Amino acid sequence: MGKIVAGVGSSHVPSIGSAFDQKAQESPEWKPLFDGYKPAKAWLKEKEVTHAIVIYNDHGTDFFFDKCPTFAMGAAEEYPIGDEGWGIRDLPTVKGDLDFSWHLANSIIGESEFDLTICQEMVMDHGLLVPLPLLFDFEPDWGVKTVPLHVNVLQHPLPTPNRLWQLGQAIRKAVESYPEDARVAVIGTGGLSHQLHGNRFGHMNENWDQEFLDMIEDDPKKLIDIPHDVWMERGGAESVEMIMWLGMRGALTQDVNKVHRSYYMPMLTGMGITVMEDKVASAA
């Protein structure tokens, strides 16, 4: 049966992908960031993760302001790499799992009564493609099968933090009812603090980032009633992406083993990763 073995929260800053592709992992400005992902990747490999459910937001590659579903999940055997304006990255086509994806869709929609847009074709952008190669092997092909789950955090009205929490709970129910073996990592992406436009361009808030990381690990329910405007006031307008981490955290039980955490603030954006193991799952 399916089992959630890990929850991961990760930034998805596009410049990380560019630095990765340019093999800048050992450069002074990027080494702290990339070194922070190495223990996470090693631990996920040790746990023999077979599937990754990645909660992310598309940035105009597949959806745009004219048509932007609140929640959209892929159900396909593969997902091509999108061109975000600087060419297609040299990564393998993302591998899916059709049976697993349709099981999730039927459970999340039919049993948990979540309204998902099911996409049999999806093109991947940096929201998913920044963390994926930092967490899993991809040469010569991906070591995990991926289910992309897009969340609208760009075009208002946005789903509430509590709705993301509920989505995580629906994901857990769906995974645990899957009849085949699947060792699943749920990955919530986005943020941390940043604002890329307007009078507050360049706004960052390390204190809020660290407080958020503490709460997402230890007391996530403190986050679910924070209004969108408070998220944006604290962390910058685009930092509202951080609510997607609640989709990951809601898929875990309250008590977790904190496996790894790293934080780095080199430029324009707070960048972080946390890796958690569900105590209930690890004891089973």
What is the sign of the dihedral through the CA atoms of 202, 131, 9 and 231? Answer: positive
Question: Based on the number of CB atoms within 10 Å of its own CB, is 97 exposed (0-12), middle (13-18) or buried (19 or more)?
Answer: buried
Query: Cα–Cα distance between 257 and 279 in angstroms, integer?
Result: 6
Alpha-carbon distances, residue 169 vs 37, 60, 223, 257 (angstroms): 26, 28, 15, 18
> Using N-to-C axis directions, what is the helix angle for 228-235 and 206-218, rounded to 10°?
130
Alpha-carbon distances, residue 93 vs 58, 138, 150, 223 (angstroms): 17, 10, 18, 35
Catalytic residues: 126, 194
What is the identity of the amino acid at 265? M
Kindly write down the DSSP assignment for every residue of 46-60, as one continuous string.
Answer: HTT--EEEEEE---S
Contacts of 113 (CB under 8 A, 6+ apart): none
Which residue in the block uniquely carries the two structure tokens 């919530």?
188
The strand pair at 94-95 and 51-56 is best described as: unpaired
**Length of the chain in terms of residues written:** 284
